[in-house]
Structure 1
Amino acid sequence: MYYVNRDQITARLNVISDLTEALRHIAAHWDGSLLQGLAQERALHMAIEMVTDVGSCIIDGFIMRDASSYEDIIEIIGGEGVFSGELLQPLLALVRLRRPLVQDYYEWPRNELHPFTLTMPAILEAFKSAVEAYMSKELGA
């Protein structure tokens, strides 16, 4: 029997609505200002952390193989059928942004609208739906 901390996963998935709202607002009102640039960075960083936190909880709860990196987390849960194959590449590309955002932040082009700001809301919503469907299938209602 698995011990999956549904409350922890749900709490993290519930952040998606705030992230998607923020990303959509930033994209719709982009002016290249420092404040919007920093808000964009934070929203993308939170998306990365949320996706990998949920992935880690799923890996631990369903006793999947150990992940060796952020990308590995996505590859493992994708390989286990947590989400569809069409989400794999966008989620991998998202987690690859972690290093530029967290370690190379001094080089990040804050005055540019990142393409993920436009596409990530739909991807995050699809990720949430997929995780919820996977947990329902594996654990029941």
Structure 2
Amino acid sequence: MYFVDREKIEEQLSYIEKQIGIFTELKECETIIEKLAVERIVHMVIEAVLDVGNSMIDGFIMRDPGSYEDILDILEDEKVITAEMCESYKRIIMLRKSLLQFYTNINHEELFEVFQTELTVLKHFAPNVREYIENELGPVTTFKP
């Protein structure tokens, strides 16, 4: 029997979608506020994607990941995401190191461009996860008061 915390995953997926929506409102990354917003959005989307991936892996008892990239490989192997999506998400995940370790020297133009380029594919993450969960567990039939 699987233990998948649908509520937590849905909260994280909604968060990802909200951050994507905010990012799409940014037309450029010039001012300090825009740069800080892009940093935060990209960083938190990365963390949320990894958290959802880990929740899926734990909940559906998939093989243990050895790295952040491996989380995405497992989701691809289990048909949660496609190969194209996996490669796109890996390009986004690669931004994590600069955001967390080289934060005093971030190339904001590159950060903005990479995220902007992968945005179309990233928008499919939440629907794919929801579809996988519903196919594996069926629709939600009970609701909390």
1:43 to 41, 44, 49: 41
Range with bigger deviation, 120-129 or 15-24: 120-129
Other-structure match for 1:99: 97
1:115 to 105, 113, 116: 113
| Residue 66 to residue 31, structure 1, CA distance change in 2 (3 Å) | closer
Post-superposition offset of 1:75: 0.9
Q: Which runs of 4+ in 1 moved over 6 A?
A: none
Q: Is the 8 A contact 2:13 2:126 kept in 1?
A: yes
Q: Measure, in 1, the Cα distance between the counterparts of 2:31 and 2:100.
A: 20
2:63 to 65, 74, 78: 65
Post-superposition offset of 1:77: 1.0
**CA RMSD in angstroms, aligned pairs only:** 1.5
For residue 65 of structure 1, give the secondary structure of its aligned residue in structure 2.
coil
Q: Measure, in 1, the Cα distance between the counterparts of 2:14 and 2:20.
A: 11
Give the unaligned 5+ runs of structure 2.
140-145
Other-structure match for 1:2: 2
Q: Deviations over 1:16-64 (max 9, x none)?
A: 23211211112x2x15111111110111001100100000000000111
Q: Measure, in 2, the Cα distance between the counterparts of 1:89 and 1:112.
A: 17
Q: Percent identity?
A: 37
Q: Is the 8 A contact 1:78 1:88 kept in 2?
A: yes
Tell me how many residue pairs correspond in the alignment: 139
User: Normalising to structure 1: TM-score of the pair?
Assistant: 0.91
Other-structure match for 2:143: none
Higher relative contact order (CA 8 A, sep 6+): 1
Give the unaligned 5+ runs of structure 1.
none
